[in-house]
Structure 1
Amino acid sequence: MKTVEIKGIKIGEGIPKICIPLTGKTREEIIKEAETVKNMEPDFVEWRADCYEEGKNSENSLEMLKTIHCVLDKIPLLFTFRTDKEGGSQSITCEDYVNLLENAAKTGFVDLIDVEAFFDTDRTESLMKRLKECGVYVAASNHHFDRTPSIEEMVKRMETMDRFGADILKLAVMPKSDEDLMSLLTATVMMKRRTEKPVITMSMGKTGVLSRLCGEASGSAVTFAAGIKASAPGQIPAERMRRTLQLLHESFT
């Protein structure tokens, strides 16, 4: 597998990297959260701009982005606006979504940008290309908060993300049974064999917790852990996650 290296962090190699999301609603909450998360020493941080009460305002979001960048200093930053259709906090038009991501990429304050691969498939490939031309990496994503698709559909969706030109392929699903969890893990193993790009998968909620821990075996390169507040069901506190991943890694080596 080819790794994606950001500020010395190699995604797709060794222990799954830990990403902690920032989910504050106000400027004051976000700054406090960023300062706290920085001290947790994550591999990288995700700013969930959709959680910010002014997240759709490009000018205010970019100003907030600059502040987060200054607080985090050398920690890699992932910029995400999760739409309400995929479990996010706000709705947004396609035009505003594209403009927000492109403007964020041009700031130089972010290292990686999340693009919802199926938000507008007619624009996805060209959007990813423009973002990469700005010097950022692109993580294509797809989220299902109400179900776990079939193994075939999950693999097909990740293969589509790959064809679109993403650097990293991310899929999150909601399990309704242990069998759903096993389906997600199977799809992850299959995709690991079909692409050279890092894959990130997770099965959410209590039933899916195992998927957040076993990435070194299944092929998921990143796990999302809770800082002050979880951004999705089933996220484990960051320090507990780090200890568990290290213990599992030692059993593999």
Structure 2
Amino acid sequence: MKTVEIKGIKIGEGIPKICIPLTGKTKEELIKEAETVKNMKPDLVEWRADCYEEGENSENSLEMLKTIRGIFDTIPLLFTFRTDKEGGDRPITCADYVNLLENAAKTGFVDLIDVEAFFDTAKTKKLIESLKKCGVFVVASNHHFDRTPSIEEMVNRLETMDSIGAHILKLAVMPRSEEDLMSLLTATVMMKKRTDKPVITMSMGKAGVLSRLCGETAGSAVTFAAGVKASAPGQIPADRIRRTLALLHESFT
């Protein structure tokens, strides 16, 4: 597998990397949260700009982004605006979504940008090409907070993300049963054999916790952990997940 290396962090190699999201609503909350998360020593940090009370305002978001970059100067930063259609905090028009992501890429403050692969399928590939020209890595994503698609559909969606040029492929689903969890893990293993790009998958909620821990076996390269608070159901506190991942890694070496 080809790794994606950012600031010395190799995504797709060894122990799954720990990413902690920032979800503060105000500037003051975000700065306080960022300082706390920095002390947790994550491999990656994600700023969920949709949680910010002015997140859809490109100018204000980019000013906040500059502040966050200053705090996490040596830690890879993932910029995400999760739309309401995929579980985010607020709606956004397609034009504003594209504008926000392109402007964030142009600042040079972010290392990776999340692009919802199916937000507007007619424009997604062009948007990814535009972001890549700015020198950022693209994480194509798709989220299902109400169900777990079939194994075939999950693999197809990940293959679509691969085909449109993303560097990293991400899929999150909600399990309704133990079988749903196993379907997600099966799709992850299958996709590991079909692409040379890092894949990130997770089954959310309590029923899917195992998927956040077994990435080194199943093939998920990053796990999202709770910092000050969780950004999605089932996230485990960062210190606990780090200990568990290290323990599992020992059994593989």
Work out whether 1:50 is the aligned partner of 2:50. Answer: yes
Alpha-carbon distance in structure 2 between the residues aligned to 1:6 and 1:34: 20
Q: What's the CA shift string for 1:153-195, capped at 9, x where partnerless?
A: 0000000000000000000000000000000000000000000
**Matched residue type, 1:52:** Y
Identity %: 84
**Matched residue type, 1:54:** E
SS of residue paired to 1:202: strand
Alignment of 1:4-153 (within 5 A): 4-153=4-153
Alignment of 1:216-235 (within 5 A): 216-235=216-235
Shift of 1:72: 1.1
SS of residue paired to 1:190: helix
**Matched residue type, 2:53:** E
Shift of 1:95: 0.2
**Matched residue type, 1:62:** L
Alpha-carbon distance in structure 1 between the residues aligned to 2:97 and 2:66: 19
SS of residue paired to 2:206: coil
Number of matched pairs: 253
Match of 2:252? 252
Q: Which runs of 4+ in 1 moved over 4 A?
A: none
Q: What's the CA shift string for 1:109-160, capped at 9, x where partnerless?
A: 0000000000000000010000000000000000000000000000000000
Match of 2:240? 240
**Matched residue type, 2:204:** M
Shift of 1:73: 1.3
SS of residue paired to 2:138: strand
Match of 2:185? 185
Alpha-carbon distance in structure 1 between the residues aligned to 2:186 and 2:237: 26
SS of residue paired to 1:227: coil
**Structure 1 unaligned spans of 5+:** none
**Structure 2 unaligned spans of 5+:** none
Alpha-carbon distance in structure 1 between the residues aligned to 2:141 and 2:76: 18
Q: What's the CA shift string for 1:205-230, capped at 9, x where partnerless?
A: 00000000000000000000000010
SS of residue paired to 1:194: coil
**Matched residue type, 1:220:** S
SS of residue paired to 1:207: helix
Shift of 1:250: 0.1
Shift of 1:45: 0.1
Match of 1:163? 163
**Matched residue type, 1:189:** V
Alpha-carbon distance in structure 2 between the residues aligned to 1:209 and 1:65: 30
Normalising to structure 2: TM-score of the pair?
A: 1.00
Normalising to structure 1: TM-score of the pair?
A: 1.00
Q: What's the CA shift string for 1:68-123, capped at 9, x where partnerless?
A: 00011111100000000000000000000000000000000000000000000000
